[in-house]
Structure 1
Amino acid sequence: MEELATVVKRKKKKAEVKIIRHSACSKCDKSCSLAGDSHDQEEIVMEVEDEIGVKTGDQVLVEMEKGNILFATIVVYVIPIFLMIGGYFFGVWVASLVGIEALELAGIAGSFIFLILSYWINKLFDSYFKQSVSFQPKIKRVIDRN
């Protein structure tokens, strides 16, 4: 995934860049009531690896590998759903073993417990993503020198 960014601050081997995030509706020239405030743009300031030596004010192309984005998306969105579904069946199974007759309630409780478990798993992966060099965006090239 590539994004255009502006270098705000330069550090040793890193640079702070400002990315203007566009919504899916930003390319549309029509104003529709379905979009609401999604036509607005937000700015994101982030620290990225700088291996090419940029200067403050440069417009650059920032890249993160697609495979890493896909993996992070699966961790954040897909794993919690599977854990919730698995938690339901685990709760029903445990309740039937113990002899509790409220299987539906046990399944809901299992889903809730496994959802909390998925939150902790996401926290673990978050610290891994922050420490791993391969999950950090990098400046690919300078588009426009200031």
Structure 2
Amino acid sequence: MIETEAQVIRIDGLHAWVKIKPHTPCGQCDPKTGCKSVAVSRMFSQTQEGFRVQSPLSSKAGDLVTVAVEEQQLLKTAAWAYGVPLFLLIVGAALGQWLLPQSSAYSVLGACFGFVVGFVLLKQQHQLAASAEPVIVASRQSSLSPFLSPCQMKRKP
């Protein structure tokens, strides 16, 4: 299992919203600012308060938890998310070229159509996303908040 530390922001039924604990630099990046790819992704990301995870344990806002996801489920989800649109893009391009070999425009249109169909299929694949949802595997109460302020814990998105 792939695990990381997080803090519960709020509870929503059988799910919890958690904020992932910031990691220290690994030594391959700038020691002061950390990973450059994380900094770039933060520039273009929406301001997401946290992540929704399954909460089988009785956690409450402010608790420190360990969130985990199965490696096989993560690999399966990544293969579907990248493989299906790419495969259908190639199939669409091949079909477009096969139907009208004298024009490459049909190959491009077929590739675009295959790519779009791949994403539509992924949107309808709810079971895949549910099976790869992270889950809280350990919880401990925290009297002090190591990476959330009390204002952040009370604020609802």
Please indicate the TM-score interval, normalised by the length of the shorter structure.
0.7 to 0.9
Corresponding residue of 2:5: 4
Distance 1:30 1:48, change over 3 A: closer
For 1:1-146, list aligned pairs within 5 A. Answer: 1-20=2-21, 26-27=25-26, 28-30=29-31, 35=36, 37-38=39-40, 44-96=49-101, 101-102=102-103, 104-125=104-125, 127-130=126-129, 132=130, 134-142=131-139, 145-146=142-143
Amino acid in the other structure paired with 1:76: A
Unaligned runs of 5+ in 1: none
Give the number of aligned pairs.
135
Kept in 1, the 8 Å contact 2:25–2:31? The answer is: no
CA drift of 1:74 comes to 1.2
CA drift of 1:44 comes to 5.0
Using the alignment, how far apart are the partners of 2:94 and 2:16 within structure 1? 48
Amino acid in the other structure paired with 1:79: V
Distance 1:120 1:11, change over 3 A: closer
Task: Summarize deviations over 1:31-65 as a string: whole Å, max 9, x none.
Answer: 79x93733969865122222221232111100111
Amino acid in the other structure paired with 2:63: D
CA drift of 1:21 comes to 6.0
Using the alignment, how far apart are the partners of 2:13 and 2:116 within structure 1? 39
CA drift of 1:138 comes to 1.0
TM-score after normalising by structure 1: 0.73
Using the alignment, how far apart are the partners of 2:5 and 2:94 within structure 1? 45
Amino acid in the other structure paired with 2:55: D
Percentage identity across paired residues of the two chains: 23
CA drift of 1:17 comes to 1.3
Unaligned runs of 5+ in 2: 144-157
Give structure 1 regions of 4+ aligned residues with deviation exceeding 6 angstroms: none
TM-score after normalising by structure 2: 0.69
What RMSD, in angstroms, separates the aligned Cα atoms of the two structures?
3.1
Distance 1:51 1:39, change over 3 A: closer
